[in-house]
Every structure is written in structure tokens, then in C-alpha cells.
Structure 1
């Protein structure tokens, strides 16, 4: 169901965080970032104030800096007042059904797999790494896109190629790693470690691959404080890992129970918003108002 019924536009798709609306022009969509927050494939019952605006404005900042590497789907920021700052007019693309993940540091599901097999998505890694270790070179670790409420699945490169074809697979792998290397350097210069991130790409009718959805936000990336980063120890984050940690360790919720997560306490909502704002301000050098 649309959160913005007052727009009077047909709702095409409602994801965990974003809603897509049809526009009169057949080749355009209105993409709106809500204040929803998801964790462990659940959309939580609580929202984070201003989150949608932060994600949209930070994505625009990154799109501008990446335009020499890859075109993006943004056409205009001229949107209805009801979705100002959180809505974008974007190209309608044929989306490539892969989460394109770049990892420059070992953590999360990659760390879990490494402990079992010394690999991540089929890529062998050296012995002796710990949670938070920087990798010698960033790696491409794709995931299949799952339906809402189901788990994305990490796969190896050849499995992905079987889905999208070798030419497309090699193109999105190379773009993913090139974007990551550029963004990682930008973030590090601003005191933030970009541990990993995911991208989505679409294809224009002429075959051009286009960067779409959101890019390099606290929802799609792991951002760590470079000053306190300690492999095997402290990994202070500016992303929704704070919410994940509260759900796992403090909420009393069992993620394997099949029950929906609980409401977030006011203090957790406030701290999460502060982390998102800090990521935006530290990366862009702009004040979020």
C-alpha cells in the first residue's frame, strides 16, 4: 500500500524502503525513499525520521562524483512537494537481477563464510584474517535478489554469469570494483572506512549499463569510523548495524523465531538517525537540515 496516496500516481512497486510510481512519460518513474528501516529481511515497525531524505540526498552527492565512471538513472529532482528531497524522477530500466557487492574489508556474512572455508563467494583468502581485516584487494561477491521477506543469497561469479550472461557479468563486476575503489578513497579521506557496499544496475534499451537505485548510503554500505577502526575489536559504525546489534543482543527478539521484530525504543531511533546524519555530513561536508 502506498505511503504517499496523496500523489495520485499508480504505485508500481513497494520495496523494503523505496516505492516506485508510474509517471505520464512511459520511460520515467518516480522513486521515493521512505523512512522505513529493514533488518534481517524484515521491515521494522518503527521508522527513522528523515532517513529517506538522507538516503536520497547522499545518493545524489555520490551520483555526481561517479558520473565519469558510469551513467546513473537520475533525470530530475523536480518532484511533488509531498516527496521533496526524498523523491527522484528516474529512468525506467530493465534491472539486472543481481546485488553487486564489493568488499574491501572482511566482516558480516563474508566473515562468517571465511571462518568456515577461508573463502568468500568462492574467492580464496589468506589465513590469519579477523573480523574487520582490510583485504589486499577489494573483491566482488554478488548475491541473487530475493523477493520481499526472503533472503538474498551470496553466490560465486560463475553462478551469477549463469543468470545474467558472461558479458554482462564481467561488465557489472568491473564497474562495481571501479566504483568501490573510487568511493573507498573518497570516504577514507573524510575519516570513514567503506568496508563494503552493494550496487544495482539497469540496462537502457540501447544496452547501456546504468547505476540505479541508491548508492553508497548507510543502508547499502558499511561505514566505520576510521579513527577507532580496530580489526578483531572495535568497528564503530555509521549505518544500520547499530539497529541489528540492538535486535540481536538487547531486544529479546529471536531472529529464528519467525516472529516479527519489536518496535525500536526512542533512544535507538534517535541514535540511528544521528548515525545516518553523521555519515551524510562527514562524507559531503554539508550540514543536513
Structure 2
């Protein structure tokens, strides 16, 4: 396979047949050795995190595909920590879409003058630009349209899919008495121009708690996959 992109938590390869393969790493985002799904730097390395993330991603993506929600997932190889996916075109240089149920992380850092830690949020959806240099700034629907990153229709499709996917994950966690605080998703277009969920759904891109106790990505995978 040919390496075509090396990311923080995954490497992207292309096979001789032109297929795209993601290789999950043991690196997770955070700062100063503390995990943070909203961080734009690698904060620490956790042995087995790549396979754990892929196991949970496979579980959720298969369920989404069954429900008719479009994703880039084709299949996965847990032992090799790889996932075969549909080629995707990004919006601009990449967007992150966050659905928030509790005021924590960057939301609290930005709006702490008005919000209190852990305050309930009604599935608030926000979009940020993938831009390490500018610390992934949030961007409004109007700005996305004006800058030619998203059309109004594309924005509404992505927002609707984000709510549906987040609610599905939230309910799956709730069955194990786990509360979802927030989740970060990414979207792209397939070769036919259809919008689909890309990247992953794992403990590495969400905050989950049980009885106000944070659950690490590794522990979340163990709970969800073994249950």
C-alpha cells in the first residue's frame, strides 16, 4: 500500500487497486498528557488505542449502515487495525461537526461567562474548521456559505445527519448506563457527490461519563463491545 496522508490518529493508504485504507494509530488527541477529543494536537499514546477505536467504530458504522445512514465504511481488520473505506472528498480542507449535550471542553472555555460546567445542552450542533494553526475555529452557517465551503442544502443535510448519528450513539451508550456529553463527527462526499459520514466513531472522538465519572476511550470500547 502507498501512504498518501499521515494524520494525528490515523494514516491513509491507497492499495494497488485504488482502494482507500485507514490505519488506526495508538496516538490520541489531547494536551500535556491529558486526553481531549477536541484538541488539535497528539497528547499521548495509549497502547491498544488504535484497535480499541476501530472495534467501536466498526460496531457503530455497521449499525449506521443497517439504518440507511450513509458512511464511508466498507469493512475492517481489527488485528491489523485497518479499515477499508469509500474514497471521500472533504469540504474545504476539512470540517469537524460537534453535537453537544453538556457544556464541557472548548464550549465551556469559549462561553464560560454564560454557561456553567456540565450544564445541559439540547444537542447543540457546531461546526469548526480543521485548521491547526488557528486552533480549529468555530464557523457559522453564513460564513460557510459565503466562503464557498458548504451550500445551504449541504449544511442542513450535515446538521440533520449529525443529530441522527449522535442520538443513535447516545441511546446505545444509555443502554449501558453511560451518558454522552459530546461527540465530534466528520463528513465528506462519495465519488457520486453524496454526503456521508467519514473518519470514525470511537471513544477518541467523544466524551462519555458514568455517574459523573469520565470513561476513557479504552474502557468505553471494553464496555460497549463486550456488552
Aligned to 2:204, what secondary structure does the other structure show?
coil
Verify: 1:64 aligned to 2:48, yes or no.
Answer: no
SS of equivalent residue, structure 1 residue 52: helix
CA distance in 2, matches of 1:219, 1:277: 9
Provide the TM-score with structure 2 as the length reference. Answer: 0.86
Q: Which residue of 1 aligns with 2:37?
A: none
Superposition misfits of 4+ residues, deviation over 3 angstroms: none
Report the equivalent of 1:253. Answer: none
Shift in Å, 1:213 = 0.7
CA contact (8 A) 2:87 2:191 kept: no
Matched, 1:12 2:9: no
Whole-angstrom CA distance in 1 between matches of 2:95 and 2:69: 17
| Alpha-carbon distance, 1:62 to partner | 0.6
Given that residues 142 and 154 in structure 1 are in contact (C-alpha distance below 8 angstroms), is that contact kept between their aligned partners in structure 2?
Answer: yes
Alpha-carbon displacement from aligned partner over 1:55-75 (angstroms, at most 9, x marks no partner): 011000011222215122122
Task: Determine if the alignment matches structure 1 residue 24 to structure 2 residue 4.
Answer: no
1:150 Cα offset (Å): 5.3
Is the contact made by 1:76 and 1:89 (CA closer than 8 Å) also made in structure 2?
yes
**What per-residue deviation string (whole Å, max 9, x for no partner) do you get for residues 190-240 of structure 1?**
11111111111111122211111111x121101111xx22xxxxxx212xx
Tell me what 1:166 maps to: 152
Larger Rg: 1
Q: Secondary structure at the match of 1:219?
A: helix
Cα distance in 1 for partners of 2:204, 2:15 equals: 26
What is the RMSD computed on CA atoms of the aligned residues?
Answer: 1.9
1:90: which partner in 2?
Answer: 85
CA distance in 1: counterparts of 2:124 and 2:203, whole angstroms: 20
- 1:29-178 to 2 correspondence within 5 Å? 29-40=20-31, 41-44=40-43, 46-67=44-65, 68-77=67-76, 84-96=79-91, 97-116=94-113, 118=114, 129-135=115-121, 137-147=122-132, 151-162=135-146, 163-178=149-164
Query: Are 1:100 and 1:143, in contact at CA under 8 Å, matched by a contact in 2?
Result: yes
SS in 1 for 2:180: strand
SS in 2 for 1:169: helix
Cα distance in 2 for partners of 1:77, 1:204 equals 19
Structure 2 segments unaligned to the other structure (5+ residues):
32-39
Partner of 1:3: none
For 2:189, which of 199, 203, 206 is the aligned residue? 203
Structure 1 length as normaliser, TM-score? 0.69
Provide the residue aligned with 1:194 in structure 2.
180
Of 103-112 and 155-164, deviating more is 155-164
1:80-101: CA deviation from partner (whole Å, max 9, x where unpaired) = xxx8341011111112321011
Is residue 276 of structure 1 aligned with residue 217 of structure 2? yes
The yes-or-no answer on 1:223 pairing with 2:208 is: yes
Unaligned 5+ residue runs, structure 1?
1-8, 119-128, 230-235, 239-274
CA distance in 2, matches of 1:154, 1:106: 15
The answer on whether the counterparts of 2:55 and 2:225 sit within 8 Å (CA) in structure 1 is no
